[in-house]
Chain A
Amino acid sequence: MIQDKSQLLNAFKAEFASSVNNVLINSTGERVNFREVSVFEQKSLSKMMIQNENRKDIVYDAQCALINKLALNEGFDVYALTEFDRIKILMEVYQSNFFKNKTEFKCKECGCQNQYELDFSKAVENMDKIKLEELEYEYSDKVRSFKFRFAYPLVKTVSGFYRFYAGKYRNVNQKERQVLDNMGNIEYINLFIKSVEVSHVGSEAEPLRADFASMKYADIEELLAMFPQDIFYNENGIINFVTKNYLEKLNGAFEKPTCQHCGAVYDESVGGAGDFL
């Protein structure tokens, strides 16, 4: 929906006049205008996604390229934003470019026939309420102390991760790949680490600091392999920390449809960002 004069002018910068979708970018607080997807662009993306179903890196970069092409604001680059923003933009693009068809489901509890439509407007509203804050996590053993900082990863980092991932798991079979594709796998969780400081307990020397946002994923993996694995796997470890503070909050924005008669949740619907992507 065109809301003001500047948006109308932006619409003419595109190759054809169409309505403009104004999206709030949560990490920067700016609003960016996106034009509608043309049939040709959607067809090309669909073809690419079907042909490269097993190459997440190619699909990921194709989606990012489309987002960059749709943006009407000069200098917009999705690779400089966070993954949280990318998911939200994709949802907005989906919302504003496709008719919502009604789907039917039968309630497992009471057998009642229900109708619902895949509408993510509520999920987008809920995502706007999530605070994108950096969190700290500390761990120390007898010898060393570790101070981690966490944040949603940059799109650039995730893209690099998928490229690395595609090379590393080139020969795994389909079942293994499905397990690895899960957003909650440990390697994906590592991307939420923004930086780490390591210091020796009782030492006055400057702590060693690594900024993960500027490192290649292969180096990050090598570095993390040297850390005590207890940091990741213990009850209050990094996996649980990231899952609780980032992934659960993101997935909590999605609401599953419920039965109109008895209120039972329909499990097979979209329950999180992983289901959407």
Chain B
Amino acid sequence: MILQELALYVYKYLIEIEMMFLTRYKISPFEIERHMTMLDMQFFMQTLEKKVEEENEARKKAGSGQNLWKSLTAIRDILNFMTMKD
């Protein structure tokens, strides 16, 4: 049961990430998939979420009402840090 539920959960999780990469960042997720382990991906997404939150806070403080997800800064930072092509 756990493995079956996990399979469904992980599949949804990965599809959402793919959609995000494709639609918001215009980056092909398929290149990343083959070179990343599941742990890397989970760590990557957690770090991304934190970065985005931080950036959002900074924008709010600066008085900007711009939608954060339109920004590529956070993801570029992480990808550069991981020495992968963005």
Contacts and interface: CB of A to CB of B under 8 A. Distances in A.
Interface in A11-50: 16, 18-19, 36-40, 42-43, 45-47, 49-50
Nearest to B46: A99
B82 to A, nearest CB: 13
A90 interface: yes
B19 interface: no
A276 B2 contact: yes
Contacts of B32: 39
Interface residues of A, number: 29
Q: Contact size class for B?
A: 20 to 34
A182 to B, nearest CB: 11
A118 B2 contact: yes
A36 to B, nearest CB: 4
A40 B42 contact: no
Nearest to A59: B4
7 contacts: A39-B37, A46-B7, A47-B11, A97-B38, A99-B46, A275-B1, A277-B1
Nearest to B41: A39
B26 to A, nearest CB: 19
Chain B binding site: helix, strand, loop or mixed by DSSP? helix
Contact of A94 (B3, B11, B34): B3
B35 to A, nearest CB: 6
Please indicate which of the listed interface residues A43, A53, A276 has the most CB atoms of chain B within 10 Å of its own CB.
A43
Interface of A: 16, 18-19, 36-40, 42-43, 45-47, 49-50, 53, 63, 90, 94, 96-99, 118, 270, 274-277
Given A39-B36, A42-B38, A98-B42, A270 B14 contact: no
Interface string B6-41: 111011001000000000000000001111111111
B1 A45 contact: no
Given A16-B35, A99-B42, A43 B10 contact: yes
Contacts of A43: 10-11, 14, 33
5 closest Cβ pairs, A-B complex: A49-B7, A36-B37, A46-B11, A46-B7, A39-B33
A63 B35 CA distance: 21
B38 A38 contact: yes
A42 B15 CA distance: 12
B47 to A, nearest CB: 12
A37 B38 contact: yes
Contacts of B6: 46, 94, 98
